[in-house]
Structure 1
Amino acid sequence: MSIDRPTDSETASRVVVTKPTKSVAWWLGGAAIVLIAAVVGAAIGPAGPVWWRVPLALLDRLPFLSVDSGVNDAQWNIVWQIRAPRVVLAALVGAMLSIAGASYQGAFRNPLVDPYLLGVAAGAGLGATVAFVVNRDITERWFIDPVPLAAFVGGLIAVALTYMVGTAFGAARSATALVLAGVAVTSLTTAIQTFVLQRNNDVVRQVYSWILGRLTTATWGDVRLILPYVVVSSVVLLLHRRLIDVLRVGDDEARALGVNVDRVRLIVVLAATLGTSAAVAVSGLIGFVGIIVPHTVRLLLGAS
C-alpha cells in the first residue's frame, strides 16, 4: 500500500493562510509612498529646475500628454540623467536586499540574518579589490567596468564555497552548518582581502570608497545591469514565499508536512544570492536594509 505525499505547493497552501484585504491595502499604500519618495528624490537638488516643476516635466514626457513645465533641456538632463538613475537604482537595490533578507531569515529561522549571511559581501569585496588592483596596471580601456563584474562573480563564488563546506560532511540538512560555513568563508575572504590591500596600498582608498556603498555615480547602465537579476530573483523568492513560511516551523516538522527542505533552501539561497550579488556589484556594500526592513514589514503585515 502506497501513500501519496503532498507536493511542496500543496503543503504550503494548507499551512499558510493569507489576509488579502489587509495585504492589498498595504501594498497600495506602500506603492504610493515609494512613488512619492521617488518623485521627491528626483525633484530636490542643488541644481536644476524648481522642485515643483519636475512632476510637470515628467507628465510632459508621457505620450499623448502635453504640459507646460517650464523646464529646459539642460535642466531636464540634470533630472533624467543624474537624479533619476540614482532614485531608480536605490529602489531596486533596497527592494532586492529586503526580499533577500526576509527570505534568508525564513529559510534559516533566524531573525538576525541579513543578505550577507553566506559570504556574499566578503566575496564581493574581495572580487572588487582584485579588480581594482588588476585594473591599476592596465592602460587599455575595458569593454565593461571590471569592478562590478568581479564583485558579482566574487559574491557567487563565496556562497558556492559556503554551500560546499556546509554540506561536505553530511550536514546538508542543517541550517546551522550553512551559517557556520558562511562565517568561516567570510573570515577567509576578508583575510585575503586585507592581505591584498596591504600589498597594494595605492588602491586602499578606492576599495574602501566602494565598500562603503554609493549611489552617487549611478547611471541608467547600472539600472539595466541589475534589473534582470532583481526581477528573476524576486519572482522566484515570491513564488516560494509560502514554503519559506513552512520552513520557519523547523526542518523536521516541514519534512513531516511533505516539504523537500533541502531543495527549497537551495532554491532560496541561489535566488537570494543572485540578486544580492547583482545589487552589491552596482552599489557596493549597503547594510541595515536587508535586516531591518523585513522586521518593519512584519510589524505592519504580520509574520507571513
Structure 2
Amino acid sequence: MKGRPVPSAVRCSALLAVLAVLLAAVAVASLALGSVRIPPGEVVRIVLGGERTGAFASIVWDVRAPRVVLGALVGAGLAVAGTVLQALVRNPLADPFLLGASSGASAGAVVVIVLGVGAGVATTVALPVAAFVGSLGALVVVWALARRGGAMTTGRLVLAGVAVQYVLSAFTSLVLVLSARAEHVRAVLFWTLGGLGGARWSELALPAVALALGTGLLLALARPLDLMLAGEEDARGMGLDPGRFRAWAFVLTSLVVGVLVAHSGAIGFVGLMVPHAARMAVGAAHRRLLPVAALGGAVFLLLTDLLARTVAAPEEIPVGVVTALAGGPFFLWLLRRSTRAEGITG
C-alpha cells in the first residue's frame, strides 16, 4: 500500500533545514581549509566562543570569515536573480551572466576603477551604482533585441545575450588599453573572472542589505512571478500588467546583481544551474522556490570557492573559472533540450 505524498510545504521545510545544515558544514570547511589548515573543532570553538586572539583566530576572523560571508551572499543573490529572470522572460536559459547583467555590472565597475571616480567612501558608493546602471542597461538591451521582430525564442535570447557580452567585453578591453596601467589590468581580470579574495568586513554591509531587501521584495512578489511564468495572457487575465511588472522586476534584479558583482566580479552559471535544481526539488511556486534557491546558491558558491582555493594549492583558481567549468556543459545540455522543445533542428 502506497503512503500519502509528502505535502509540498513539509518537503520544502525539510529541504531548507538540510540546506542550512549543509551551509554551516561548508562554511566550517571553508574556514578550516587553506594554506594554513585549522582543525574543524578549533574553528567551531573560535567561532562559537568569539575568540579574537591568537594566530588561528586571526586567520579565521580577519581572512577567511569575510570571504565565506561574501560567498554566501553572492551565491544566494545570483541564484535568486536567475530564478526571477527565468520567470520574467519565460526561458530556462535566463541567467544574470548569460543575459549580460553580470557583464554590464562588471563593465560599470571597471570604468569606475580605471577612471578613478571618487576616493574612499565615494568609490565605495560609485562602484555599486555604476555596476547597477551597467547591469540594468545590459538587461534592457538584451530583452529589446530578443523581442525585436516577433516572439522571443531561446535561440534569439542566447544570441542577444552573447552579442551584448561581446560588446561589453570589447568596451572593457578598450578602457583597459586606454589606461595601460598594471594595477588596472589586475582589476579588470578580477571583474572578468570573478573572485572572493578581496572580501573585507567593512564592505559586506551593502551586499547584505541589497540581498535581504531584494529577496524580501521578490518574495512579496511571488504571486505575480508565478503568473509571469504561466504566460502574459494569463497574467493580464488576473489583473497584472506584465510590461510594468517586468520593468520594475528588472530594476530590482539589476540592483541585487549590480551590488553583488561590484564586490565579487562576474561569476557565471550560478543563476542558471541552482534555480533548475531547486525547481526540480520543490516545484515552480516562487514562495517556496526563492528561499530554496537562495540557500542552494550559497552552498554551491561556497563549495566551488573551496575547490578553487584547494585544488591547486598554494595557487588559487578564480572561482568564476570553476563555476564556468561546471556550468558550461549544463548550459549546452539545457540549450539542446530547449531547442528541441521549440522544434529547432541543428
Structure-1 separation of matches of 2:192 and 2:277: 26
Check the 8 A contact 2:31/2:68 in 1, yes or no. Answer: yes
Hey, what does 2:44 align to over in structure 1? 55
| CA deviation vs aligned residue, 1:62-118 (integer Å, no higher than 9, x gap) | xxxxxxxx9953321110111111111100000000000000001110000102455
Alpha-carbon shift at residue 291 of structure 1 (Å): 0.6
Matched with 1:21 is: 10
Deviates more, 1:49-58 or 1:219-228: 49-58
- Which protein has the bigger helix share? 2
* Residue 32 (structure 2) aligns with: 43
When structure 1 is superposed on structure 2, of 51-60 and 273-282 the one drifting more is 51-60
**Compared CA separation, residues 182 and 155, structure 1 to 2 (3 A):** farther
Q: Paired residue for 1:194?
A: 173
Name 1:96's counterpart in structure 2: 77
**Which runs of 5 or more structure 1 residues have no equivalent in the other structure?**
1-17, 62-69
* Pair member with larger Rg: 1
- 1:33 corresponds to: 22
- 1:159-190 Cα deviation digits (max 9, x unpaired): 2475489679x98x987799987666545433
What root-mean-square deviation, in Å, do the aligned CA atoms of Structure 1 and Structure 2 show? 3.2
- 1:145 and 1:47 map into 2 onto residues whose CA distance is 35
Relative to structure 1, the CA distance from residue 160 to residue 131 in structure 2 (aligned partners, 3 Å threshold; closer, same or farther) is closer
> Do the aligned residues in 1 keep the contact of 2:99 with 2:138 (CA within 8 Å)?
no
Cross-structure match for 1:219 = 200
State the alpha-carbon separation in 2 of the partners of residues 106 and 91 from structure 1.
Answer: 23
AA aligned to 2:170 is A
Kindly state the Cα deviation for residue 55 of structure 1 after the two structures are TM-superposed. 0.6
| SS of equivalent to 2:90 | coil
Alignment CA distance shift 1:184-1:46 (3 Å): closer
CA contact (8 A) 2:138 2:164 kept: yes
**How far apart are the structure 1 equivalents of 2:138 and 2:15?**
39
Q: Which secondary structure state, in structure 1, belongs to the residue aligned with residue 24 of structure 2?
A: helix
**1:153 to partner: Cα distance:** 1.4
> Unaligned 5+ residue runs, structure 2?
1-6, 286-346
Contact 2:134 2:258 (C-alpha < 8 Å) held by counterparts = no
Once the two structures are superposed, residues 226-276 of structure 1 have per-residue CA deviations (whole angstroms, 9 ceiling, x without a partner) of 111111111111111222121112112221222221232123212111111
**Equivalent residues, number:** 273
Partners of 2:168 and 2:42 lie apart in 1 by 48
CA distance in 2, matches of 1:295, 1:25: 18
Alignment-derived partner of residue 310 in structure 2 = none
Q: Which residue of 2 aligns with 1:156?
A: 133
2: CA distance between counterparts of 1:51 and 1:145? 39
Residue matched to 1:75: 56
Worse-superposed segment, 175-184 or 200-209: 175-184
Contact 1:115 1:290 in 2 (8 A): yes
* Distance of 1:293 and 1:165 partners within structure 2: 22
